[in-house]
C-alpha cells in the first residue's frame, strides 16, 4: 500500500490554518479555544459542502487518534502516584458517588427515550465527565484555586478522570468481545484491571528509572523522544489487547510523572499537546455530521439538564454525608456540575471507533460540549455568588425570605 504524502500535508495545512483562525476568533470573543476548534472542524469537514476542504476520513481519524494519545498523556502527567495517594477518602467517596450516580441516571434516561444499549452506555459515560480544565481555569480566575472547596473539587476531578478512563476501556473491551453479560463482561473488566495494575506496578519500578537515566544526559531532544516512546508504547499495548489507546496514554503520563525530571518533561511536551490537542478538536468537529445537529439540539439540551441535575444532587448529598457544611457542599456541587470537555469527546470517539454507537452520538456529544463549555463559567460564578448571598451574616443558611418583625 502506497501512502501519498501530498493529500496528508494538504489536510494538515488546512486543519492548522482553520484552527489558528478560529482560535483568534475565540480569543477575541473571550471564549474557550475548544469551541473555536470544533466549529472550525465542522466548517471544513466533509459534511459541509461547498466548504468541504477535507474529505479523507482515514486522515481525520489518524490525526484524532494521535491527538487523543498526546492529550491524555499530558493529562496523566498531572497525576503522579504520590499525588493520588494523598487524595483523601472524602474525595474518593464524592468522586465515585458522582461518577457512578450520573452514569446510572444518564443510562436510565437514555433507555427511557429508546436509545440502543450501546448508545445509552456511551452517552451516559460522556455526560458523567466533568470538564476539569475549564473548572480549574474558572477557579484560578476567581482567585479561589487554593480555597478548601477548590481543593475538594480538584481532588474529586482527579479521581473522576481515572474512573471515566477506566470505564471507557471496559466499554470498548466489552464492545470488541461482542458481549455485555456473563464471561465476556468479566473478561473485559479483568483485562482492563490487569492492564492498569500491571502498568502501575511494573511501570512504576521501571519507567521512572529509565526516564531519570535519559534525563541525566541533559539532552532535551533525547528526553522528548524517550517519553513519547513510552506514551505511544503503552497506547499500542492497550490497543493490542482491545482497550482504549487513551487508557494507555493516560497511565503512561502517570508513570512519567513519577520521574525526577517530570517538571521538565511537562514543559517539553506542552507545545506538542497544544498542537495535537487543537488537531484533535478540529478533527472531531470535521467527523461530526452537522446535518444531524439541528435535530439533536433538543435531545442534547435534555441530556445536559440530566447531567447537571444528577451531578449537583450526587455531589451535594455525598459531600454532606462526608461532614462538609452546607456552603462547602453547595459550592462543590456547582463546581463539579459542568459536563463535557475533551474527555467527553474522547468517550464519544471511542464508541465510534469500535463501531457500536449510532452515527448521531458523536455530533450530539460535540453539540453538548460546545453548549456546556460556553455556559459552565457562568454557571459556576453565578452559583457561587448565590451560595454567598444565601449565607446569612451569622454563618447560617437562609433558603427563603426572613420573616419581618412585628
Tell me the C-alpha distance between 363 and 365, whole Å. 6
Q: Is 265 domain-assigned?
A: yes
232: number of Cβ within 10 Å: 18
Tell me the C-alpha distance between 301 and 31, whole Å. 20
165: CATH: 1.20.1530.20
Q: 344: domain range?
A: 68-272+292-390
Report yes or no: 7 and 59 within 8 Å, Cβ to Cβ. yes
Q: Is 382 domain-assigned?
A: yes
pLDDT at 141: 65
For residue 214, what are the contacts with CB-CB under 8 A and spacing of at least 6? 222, 223, 226
Q: Is 24 domain-assigned?
A: no
Tell me the C-alpha distance between 41 and 60, whole Å. 10
| Residue 309: its H or E element | helix 293-321
Is residue 49 helix, strand or coil?
coil
Q: Is 223 domain-assigned?
A: yes
Domains in the chain, number: 1
Q: At 156, list the grid cell.
A: 474529586
Q: Is 105 domain-assigned?
A: yes
Tell me the C-alpha distance between 84 and 162, whole Å. 10
Distances from the Cα of 263 to the Cα of 108, 162, 260, angstroms: 43, 21, 8
Q: Is 348 domain-assigned?
A: yes
Tell me the C-alpha distance between 272 and 279, whole Å. 11
Among 37, 113, 90, 119, smallest CA distance to 322 is for 90
For residue 386, what are the contacts with CB-CB under 8 A and spacing of at least 6? none
Q: Is 41 domain-assigned?
A: no
Q: Is 360 domain-assigned?
A: yes
**Burial track 183-222 (b if 16+ CB lie within 10 A, e otherwise):** ebeeebbebbeebbeebbeebeeebbebbeebbeeeeeee
**Burial track 75-102 (b if 16+ CB lie within 10 A, e otherwise):** bbbbbbeeeeeebeebbebbbbbbbebb
Report yes or no: 64 and 284 within 8 Å, Cβ to Cβ. yes
211-264 confidence digits (pLDDT tens): 888 888 888 888 888 899 999 999 999 888 888 888 899 899 889 888 887 777
174-216 confidence digits (pLDDT tens): 876 665 556 767 777 888 889 888 988 898 889 989 988 888 8
Among 165, 93, 154, smallest CA distance to 129 is for 165
> Digits of tens for pLDDT over the chain (406 positions)?
556 788 788 888 888 999 999 989 988 988 878 888 989 998 888 888 777 788 777 878 888 888 888 888 887 887 777 766 766 788 889 999 999 999 999 999 999 999 999 999 999 999 998 877 677 767 766 666 667 787 788 788 878 888 888 888 888 888 766 655 567 677 778 888 898 889 888 988 899 899 888 888 888 888 888 899 999 999 999 888 888 888 899 899 889 888 887 777 777 777 877 888 888 888 888 888 888 888 899 999 999 999 999 999 999 999 999 988 888 899 999 988 877 677 898 899 888 888 889 989 999 999 998 888 888 888 888 888 888 888 754 456 655 444 444 4
Q: At 320, list the grid cell.
A: 454532606
Amino acid at each position: 500500500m502506497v501512502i501519498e504524502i501530498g493529500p496528508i500535508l494538504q489536510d494538515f495545512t488546512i486543519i492548522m490554518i482553520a484552527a489558528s483562525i478560529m482560535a483568534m476568533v475565540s480569543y477575541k470573543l473571550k471564549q474557550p479555544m475548544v469551541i473555536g476548534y470544533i466549529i472550525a472542524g465542522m466548517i471544513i469537514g466533509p459534511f459541509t459542502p461547498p466548504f468541504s476542504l477535507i474529505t479523507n476520513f482515514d486522515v481525520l481519524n489518524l490525526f484524532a487518534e494521535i491527538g487523543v494519545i498526546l492529550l491524555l498523556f499530558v493529562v496523566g502527567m498531572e497525576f503522579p502516584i504520590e499525588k493520588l495517594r494523598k487524595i483523601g477518602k472524602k474525595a474518593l467517596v464524592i468522586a465515585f458517588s458522582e461518577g457512578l450516580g450520573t452514569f446510572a441516571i444518564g443510562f436510565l434516561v437514555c433507555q427511557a427515550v429508546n436509545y440502543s444499549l450501546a448508545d445509552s452506555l456511551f452517552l451516559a459515560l460522556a455526560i458523567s465527565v466533568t470538564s476539569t480544565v475549564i473548572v480549574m481555569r474558572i477557579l484560578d480566575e476567581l482567585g479561589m484555586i487554593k480555597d478548601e472547596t477548590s481543593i475538594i473539587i480538584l481532588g474529586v476531578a482527579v479521581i473522576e478522570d481515572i474512573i471515566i478512563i477506566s470505564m471507557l476501556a471496559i466499554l470498548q473491551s466489552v464492545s470488541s468481545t461482542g458481549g455485555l453479560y456473563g464471561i465476556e463482561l468479566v473478561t473485559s473488566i479483568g483485562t482492563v484491571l490487569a492492564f492498569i495494575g500491571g502498568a502501575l506496578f511494573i511501570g512504576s519500578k521501571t519507567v521512572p528509572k529509565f526516564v531519570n537515566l535519559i534525563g541525566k544526559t541533559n539532552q532535551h531532544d533525547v528526553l522528548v523522544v524517550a517519553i513519547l516512546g513510552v506514551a505511544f508504547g503503552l497506547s499500542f499495548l492497550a490497543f493490542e489487547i482491545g482497550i482504549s489507546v487513551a487508557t494507555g496514554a493516560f497511565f503512561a503520563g502517570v508513570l512519567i510523572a513519577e520521574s525526577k525530571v517530570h517538571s521538565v518533561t511537562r514543559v517539553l511536551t506542552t507545545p506538542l499537546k497544544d498542537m495535537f490537542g487543537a488537531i484533535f478538536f478540529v478533527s472531531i468537529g470535521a467527523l461530526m455530521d452537522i446535518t444531524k445537529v439541528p435535530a439533536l439540539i433538543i435531545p442534547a439540551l435534555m441530556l445536559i439538564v440530566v447531567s447537571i441535575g444528577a451531578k449537583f444532587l450526587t455531589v451535594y448529598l455525598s459531600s454532606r454525608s462526608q461532614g462538609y457544611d452546607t456552603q462547602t457542599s453547595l459550592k462543590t456541587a456547582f463546581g463539579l456540575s459542568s459536563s463535557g470537555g475533551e474527555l467527553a469527546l474522547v468517550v464519544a470517539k471511542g464508541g465510534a471507533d469500535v463501531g457500536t454507537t449510532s452515527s448521531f452520538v458523536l455530533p450530539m456529544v460535540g453539540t453538548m460540549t460546545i453548549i456546556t463549555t460556553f455556559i459552565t463559567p457562568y454557571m459556576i460564578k453565578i452559583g457561587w455568588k448565590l451560595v454567598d448571598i444565601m449565607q446569612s451574616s451569622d454563618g447560617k443558611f437562609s433558603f427563603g425570605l426572613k420573616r419581618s418583625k412585628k
